[in-house]
Structure 1
Amino acid sequence: MIQGWFSRPVEVAVGVAGSIRHISNAQQAVELLTGQWRDAGSAQHGAALRACRRAMSGDVPADNAREAFISAAREAHVLVE
Structure 2
Amino acid sequence: MYEAWFSKPVSVTTGIGGDIRNLLNAQQAVDLLGGNWRDAGSQKHRSALRACRQAINGGISADVAREVFVEAAREAHILVE
TM-score interval w.r.t. the shorter chain?
Answer: over 0.9
TM-score with structure 2 length normalisation?
Answer: 0.99
| Gap runs ≥5 in structure 1 | none
Structure 1 runs of 4+ aligned residues shifted over 2 Å read none
Deviation at 1:14, TM superposition (A): 0.5
* Pairwise CA distance, 1:30: 0.1
SS at match of 1:17: coil
In the alignment, the residues of structure 1 paired with residue 21 and residue 37 of structure 2 have an alpha-carbon distance, to the nearest angstrom, of 14
Show the 5 A alignment for 1:2-81: 2-81=2-81
Q: CA RMSD in A?
A: 0.3
Structure 1 length-normalised TM: 0.99
CA distance in 2, matches of 1:68, 1:24: 14
Aligned residue pairs: how many? 81
Structure 2, unaligned stretches of length 5 or more? Answer: none
